[in-house]
Structure 1
Amino acid sequence: MSNISTIIPYFARDKNSNSRLSNNIAIESMAHLGEVIIYDQSLSRIDAPAFGHPNIHYKHAPLKFAVPFSPGVTRNHAISLAKLDYIFLLDVDLLYSDRFYDCLYQQAHELSHCTNSAFEMYPCLYLTKEETERFDGDFQGCLESFLRGENHRVEGIALASSCLLMNREWFLQLGGFDEQFVGHGGEDLELIDRLTRHYPIGPRPADYGLNIKAQHPGDYQGFRRYFSYYALPHLFAGRFLVHQWHPRPLTHPYHKRRADNDQLLEQMLSRSEAERGPLKGPVVPCHDLHGELPDFREWMIRLQEEAGYPVNEYPGLLRWQDGITPKRPLWRKLRKLYLNPRAFFRDMFKPTSL
């Protein structure tokens, strides 16, 4: 048996959620890397043939009435049941390629020869609704479409994501996910902050505490830019996942918590080292970049051109391709105004990147 416990938190949000869990062949394949722990907090239990696999452990623990679903809390419960040395965090909306699967065990093996605080973080491409409906496993095609600056297959990217591979004992020593985050967002980025604090890839920038989102990584600021130094090399090596589109209704208690979680995250990440309190263990630098961090945009362009994607043909990490109309439907603008009015008005006056 390999040494990875794949952790999948779950809560049925709509009628399609159950099928994504019970029919997700990615879940069954992950069982061959060790074990899969599915922690289901939906009201109704799911029965699926794949759950009969001896390495897939399905735990049904329905939430109490009126308690919002919290991915961080659910992951903490699931990880408490894990038995293996490394944990990999996977959400039910995510899919990965054979190439990614083949690399994961090797990366866990490499981490075992590093400090316990070493970790890997993998990027996610966000598929459009249309691509989700017709997706046939063409991961490379989706990547190249996005890098060309197109938006009909992929609508966005997250370099910093919750798709983390890390030592289980170190996760527990850090204290796991912060359970102040309830509902959608924030808990993964706060954990990444603590992981990078003990395994720094370079000095943190002066604007580290900024919680400002951007469509294209070239416009990242603050902690999102810093976190991206860990994740970007995986993208060009084919070690990424794709996120299947699903609705995010404003009225759902899970999504309504996003603005509060964003504010909590910003408060926590803007604290001084003295305010954060003592470290949980030694600081062991990540040696991937060997010292001072290079300028992010220049480094990003160099990496992609070395990977065979000249930026004049593949501008997607910086901007949309010329002639592409950004997809900014009215419902999305209203959603942002409702959930986070401060960010809505700030972005209205943000200059467009070149």
Structure 2
Amino acid sequence: MHTPDLSIVIPLDFHRRSWDLYRRVKRFVHMFAGQSVQLIFGCNAAPQFWVKCLQRLIAKHANMHVCLVDAEASSLSKLRNTALAAVKTQYVLFLDVDIVPDWHLVELAYQHVFAQPKQIGMFPCLYLSKAGSKLISKTSAAEFKDHYYDFRRDLILHLAFPSSIVLCDMASVREIGGFDEQFIGHGYEDFDFMLRLFHYKGLIKYSADILVDEPYLAPLMSVGLRAVLAKPFLDSLIQPVYFLHQFHKKDKDEDYYKKRAANKDLFINKYQDLKEDKLHFNKLSLLNYFFNEVIEEKNSQKYVVLWAELNGNQLRKRQSQLFKSLKGFVAQRFEM
């Protein structure tokens, strides 16, 4: 097995969720201490208290680095670019601090990309519920993947695919100029980065689909922008590498999330003159491609979860009610 020549880039801004972020950084430090990969944090220089805590935390680890920059709060593009400037390895992996660190998954992802002619991979990410996140220490990524395919929406909120978890050669990232620092706050900087990177790699075209911004209930039923980004990597869905995203609360009134609308406008303005006029994806495009080109088990029931458009919240409520009913039934049986 080839020793990974790899850096993991993680943006950090302690203006938000300070203690929570620090605890999650500690998991990364513990997981990658002494490993061959480089861990590079692009970190806002303020607030200084938490920055100093971070510096002390990694001080004895030669494969870990903090790159500081004075940035506007939540300027994730600038933080990532600051970290990218310090990358000296041939390959780079983009994660955020809410991803569950897993050396085995990183190694598998690297070996997968290393064997690809295009030298790039994008990997599925399971967003865990609050209940699911409590099981991280005793449940493997493979087990969570099985739970997803078993429709365990009490443990898993949804599958992000496309996701911003991308591993590729560093030379290509330099060629496209990294992340666009005009995007500040939540959303669209990752879409923009992936579009430019995938286009540079010859994996996609700038079609009219990229201005169709519709969320999905099932990955294989996505259209527009998300379908464009997902199609080149559909084979990742049948591979073992599924990353996990830990649950955290969201305050939609927070300034970080309020900036999403401005980022969307920036994204549209950036791409509306680059695109071709033709739409290439309809509701069934990814589903047809997946079953005709990606998998061999044409009649397999295993992949139903990838196209079954179920409302996760409703399914979680039903599962919760079912578990409560079963618990009550069992308790009654023991009392008899």
Gaps of 5+ in 2: 277-283, 318-336
Equivalent residue number for residue 38 of structure 2: 35
Bigger Rg over Cα: 2
| Secondary structure, counterpart of 1:218 in structure 2 | helix
Equivalent residue number for residue 266 of structure 2: 264
8 Å CA contact 2:204–2:232 kept in 1: the answer is no
CA–CA distance in 1 between the matches of 2:24 and 2:306? 29
Equivalent residue number for residue 60 of structure 2: 52
The alpha carbon displacement at 1:308 in A equals 9.9
- Determine which of 17, 20, 38 is the counterpart of 2:21: 17
Cα deviation 1:261-289 (Å, max 9, x = unaligned): 12322333333359xxxxxxxxxxxxxxx
Verify: 1:83 aligned to 2:55, yes or no. Answer: no
CA–CA distance in 2 between the matches of 1:132 and 1:144? 15
8 Å CA contact 1:217–1:317 kept in 2: the answer is yes
Equivalent residue number for residue 186 of structure 2: 184
The alpha carbon displacement at 1:159 in A equals 1.1
Q: Which amino acid aligns with 2:290?
A: M
- Determine which of 312, 315, 325 is the counterpart of 2:304: 315
- Determine which of 252, 255, 278 is the counterpart of 2:254: 252
| Secondary structure, counterpart of 1:87 in structure 2 | strand
Equivalent residue number for residue 127 of structure 2: 126
1:106 and 1:9, CA in 2 relative to 1: closer, same or farther beyond 3 A? same
Cα deviation 1:235-286 (Å, max 9, x = unaligned): 3211121110111112322222112212322333333359xxxxxxxxxxxx
| Secondary structure, counterpart of 1:38 in structure 2 | strand
Q: Which amino acid aligns with 1:34?
A: V
Q: Which runs of structure 1 show a deviation greater than 6 angstroms over 4 or more consecutive aligned residues?
A: 321-324
1:49 and 1:204, CA in 2 relative to 1: closer, same or farther beyond 3 A? closer
CA–CA distance in 2 between the matches of 1:163 and 1:213? 18
Equivalent residue number for residue 332 of structure 2: none
- Determine which of 114, 125, 131 is the counterpart of 1:109: 114
1:89 and 1:309, CA in 2 relative to 1: closer, same or farther beyond 3 A? farther
1:167 and 1:324, CA in 2 relative to 1: closer, same or farther beyond 3 A? closer
Q: TM-score, normalised by structure 1?
A: 0.75
Cα deviation 1:8-67 (Å, max 9, x = unaligned): 1111222312111123357515x624311112214132245454211111234454xxx3
Q: Which amino acid aligns with 1:4?
A: L
- Determine which of 300, 314, 323 is the counterpart of 1:325: 314
Q: TM-score, normalised by structure 2?
A: 0.78
| Secondary structure, counterpart of 2:314 in structure 1 | coil
- Give % identity: 22
| Secondary structure, counterpart of 1:145 in structure 2 | helix
Verify: 1:153 aligned to 2:143, yes or no. Answer: no
The alpha carbon displacement at 1:106 in A equals 1.9
Aligned-residue RMSD, C-alpha: 3.1
Greater per-residue helix proportion: 2
8 Å CA contact 1:218–1:317 kept in 2: the answer is yes
1:107-256 correspondence to structure 2 within 5 Å:
107-110=112-115, 114=117, 118-135=119-136, 136-201=138-203, 206-256=208-258
Q: Which amino acid aligns with 1:297?
A: L
